[in-house]
Structure 1
Amino acid sequence: MPRVETLERPVKAPPRQRGRSSARGKKAPPPQDRLSQRTLFLRRVKRSLKPGLWILGATAVLVVGAELVRTLPGAKPHPAPPADAMLAAAPPAPAPVEQPGLLAEALAAIGFRIHHIEIHGAATIDPRALSAAVDVKAGDPTFGMSLARIQQRVDALGPVRDATVERILPGTLVVDITERDVYAIWQTIQNGQPIFQLIDKNGDVIADQNAAAAKRRQPSLLLLSGADAPQQASTLIPELKAQPSVYAHVAAAERVDGLRWNLILKNHTVVKLPDGDEAAALAQLTKLQASMQLLDRPVEAIDLRQPGRLVVLPYTLPPPPPPPGKAPVKRQEGQ
């Protein structure tokens, strides 16, 4: 029999898969760690706080804006009641001290504090009285005050005609003051003592002012006397200023019986003006001064009370002294 030889066929290797080889060539990514519960919680809280922070910021802006609008120096405070009503009423309770709110304190903590206080126009006001009226010091919260109340207290000071109070962020307080113009000095008698007070053009007394200091600042201020002198000054003084040569000699003016004026000159001569039509009498006096220097002459009085007539009263001469070497004869008692 023929010999049968068994030939072993080589076993073919399975075809190589490209996908597996490429996968083996690349490094597999590490498995991701799972976030902890704390991290997830903080992320949720952070996301939920974002709308709240926006709302809180918008609310703070609205509150600050409302506070600024409320305290703008536009509205004037209500006028104070008359003095008689204040005296008749019971003494008011002391005003409560202003306390800054929580928002003012919170804003102060981030820098909204008063660092500068600027006051303009206070030339004759007592600094202590003005400081007490403003009642703000460095370091106070910028929003811890009422501008309207500060303005009301400053307006109440005697020399103040008008005041404006404003704040400039972050920490400046500005007070602008317009003082009342001094028109004349009014002399009255109280308890036998002369009292000198300043008046304005309307005849109102300017309280808390030093008349002597005002006279030093304005030497041309006229001294007035008489019950109704302040109310009549706005008529006399312009007529005097219209006659400069006469006005330069006048030191004071006295209101007589509520009807007319006496002018006291610097050389103590008394000029008696008529009841009404002072302008014509002063014009006549100007002509006399130009022609004969009447106001410079040592006379006791110049009477202009009668229209078209001038009466000059000279000083009474003292008796002549005795001749030298002769002593005056003394009369003995009983003669």
Structure 2
Amino acid sequence: MTLQTYYDILGVSANAAPEVIHAAYQTLARKYTHSTSPEAGQMAALIKQAYDVLSDPVRRSDYDAWLRLNQTNQPVTPVAPMPTAAYHPPKKGSSAAAWIIGVLVVLLAVAGLAYYLVSSTGFFGNKDEPVQPIDTSAQTNTLKPVSPIDNGITAEQQNARNQAHADYLAAVNRINAVWNSLPKNTRNALRDEQRAINAAREANCQAQAVSEYSSPIEIETARYRCEVPLMDERTNELRVYIQSERNAPVYDEPSDYDVSYDEPSESHDDSYDDPVSYTKPAEARAMYDEAVANINAIWNSLSDETRNALRDEQRAINAAREAGCKAYARNNYSTKYEQDTARYLCEVPELNDRAAQLQEYE
């Protein structure tokens, strides 16, 4: 049995419609499936292969193109069934391309062999010869080490500055700790005063340092050293307010008190009997602190029941004493220096009188 194309196997024309190809396949498949002929199995496989190609539009188009290029008038006798895998017709000119690639591979192999033979004989020189390092012995333009910039600060000055700064920070921490331990209402009452004291301290110490030293590091060191004792002095003053809150009758330190100045006291004139004229504010303050300590000691010696009974009365007495002495100082003296002194001297005897009254409750 001779076959020419898949169309011949199915018995249809080359331009047969898909439904015609399908009908022909079904007819032939039924015929050879039930046939007992020895060639029935081989023929059924060929019919299936032909139908798989012609029923797929893409594969049929490729197959038709292949037929147009390779179809001859000689019939093809199938020796064995064609594989059932997808059909891929050979491309024209593939043999020539393979031949060209083979020639190129051979040429590259010959070129590589020639290079190896030539290089191994030393034609390109001794490849194992080390590269000579650059000779720098004759180099005359050598770099000299750069000298560090001399800023004029000695190690002793730097150490002194660091120590002064550490002492300054310690003083800041001390006064902040006391300030933060004060009640909120006390801090609010003292806030403006404290800011003024801080500004005056910084300005005065800066001016003093500039007047005594010229180099920046010495000025900075002197300013730190100047501020430390002033901050510690103010810290001790603020501690009085802590004690004031713990012991009810203590007198609240006046918010306008300022110890930043050191105005000298006038010489004592025996013909003039006004103590304000010859008493410094610091001396008057010391007398006031002593009177406060005395009345607090007496107050704390009273029983809890007595203190609770007298607390409102004592607060009213404190407020009246403070207001009266403050008004007296402002009405009779013009400078703040004299007003501070007069106010403290006014309150001392009244504090002592009240202390004597409280002793009667013991």
TM over 0.5: no
Answer 1 or 2: higher relative contact order, Cα 8 Å, separation at least 6.
2
> TM-score scaled by structure 1?
0.29
Larger Rg: 2
**Higher relative strand content:** 1
> TM-score scaled by structure 2?
0.27
